[in-house]
Structure 1
């Protein structure tokens, strides 16, 4: 009987000491990231009221400080940025961790077109409402941590294959290189903590910007000089296509650059040779006033030289000013494009246009020539000051033109003393480039 008792007791103890088999978190996704993003209307905010759950793998976090108070997750259908009000998020949500997010009570919104998840909406500034990050005390209630080491394989794409469906997804751009003006440059301004966007190209004309925060741990590293692949999170800011890398290991450009078939720079002006606060002046470049006696000035803003124009304080009924580039011959190239960057400040309705003419004679009365407006993206909407980032014009095609052409920036505003609705917007222009094959 003693033997039987001991045997039975041992068996019983062994049964209760055995730990249960781990089966992962007891939660399952019931909607995909793609389906959730379809609920969002651009420039709006939507509160999620149903018991919906998404799952995804963390593909970016704040480990190198290039992603601020946010993580990016991706499932088999899409990716999305999740705003989190915390620091050192990488310790909780490392790259490769699967997570589940309870969406009920959260909000969808977008920043410059990039769809995000947050905890609410800050409407303290009615003109610029923004998503509120999920507070740290709610992390564990909203986000369920899953398995580690669930790494996502980047999707390989070429520059002409980029589209809105790839937002917040991990991609590898193949056969690319930094523009020759951006090679060997620091990724960002670590001294002044300023974000910098460097131009990335294929051997053709396409353009994507590698955007890096001035707080990134690799901000002082320099961009590659070769040709190859680059991996990162694809994003959009309005019409500008951007790539955010996690660290410099995402950049593998050790091949030979495009030298024969790539675009050739036909004209460039970054205003670095101008005297600050003086009239813009350069050989064969025209800086003219049609009305109001106002000219384009050279300015240095945060160490960056640029051209500036405004009707502010002129007291003029109308201000029309022209900045005309030297003649450009398009007979010996193909696939020509124009690109530049702009900023607007205290925008109240003045207009900056980019024009092209084939019959302007190069003289001091350009308004007598025939000009066509080019479909360039111009900064707008900054009504209370100046934005931190420049707005890219995009690649403005000139391939439909032949022979010698002139490109002009034309500003029109006013500042009448007795009128309340004045048009005095300030515009800044920089990094003008014309290139072709």
Structure 2
């Protein structure tokens, strides 16, 4: 790369005998690159939209700030630059010493504007003949976008372009789908794609080079902020990390629930996965007889916890649904709703467990006999309120857990399905 410089030569006087003279020297040329007409990266996009791939044969220049460099090995003979509104990839004829934050002027004559798998790029850029570094250490603020935003397109002429391609971007509240894996294959120097997810089912690829100096490092396992450059390869949007050192992904992953002791509760089971186990969101499902467990189902779209032994293959079942730990207060009041379908036996009981450590049958069990529980006269899938239950009438200290026990026997034909919803505990 060329920096504008002025060489000044000082000449001394040379005395020859009694005669002195001051010889004249030619002034050295100033090393410079023509500027020509100034354009923007957006102009290049329009040129490509209008004329496709093309050689640039006239004197044009553009200014931009470098957003990647070759220091980590993640990028080789390429840099990304951007001006106020656009970004573009520069494919270099040789490696360069450009650094992130360099403000550069790119002289365009002799370069080639084209499209590499839907990514607009400026090819054949000679670091010595086409680049002049203007200043160093310039900060460029990343665009704060969501994964969904990355797919935004715009039409120039008759051509659709990904709006944010080649831009420096910040994605928040994201995490790698798979943890415990390395960025790339450092041994064979193969690149690897990773899924980066947000907490709203959004996904984008992160591509990491096997030549990077962090290829053998493990990807972050937490949730947080990802900084990188947006690339395009065919129909795929890809993000490229500059260095893991600038990522902040040490937070709790999507769906994390703190299982600290509660003082109150309002559980509707809406945050659970329909069809999945009820043993999540700090609740437990424990089978003390048989293999069946409480799952999540619904009544007309209203999610709730479901216990049934139909299809379990077990002669008998005893399964528990156990709440998170609760701090005792004498003012605690409990209510819940239950429903039954296919009733043929009274198979559900409610309990308060104290001294619980994983096995409900080893805990102190206090049955809540005053609660109204759905039965033979309730009708299929009709939610029945338990009534208000004073915890202090059952126990005098805590901590404690609310628990629901389902008993059934395939041998005896006891196969009623019981359901629990809206477990409300007030202080």
- Normalised by the length of structure 2, the TM-score is 0.49
Q: Greater CA radius of gyration, 1 or 2?
A: 2
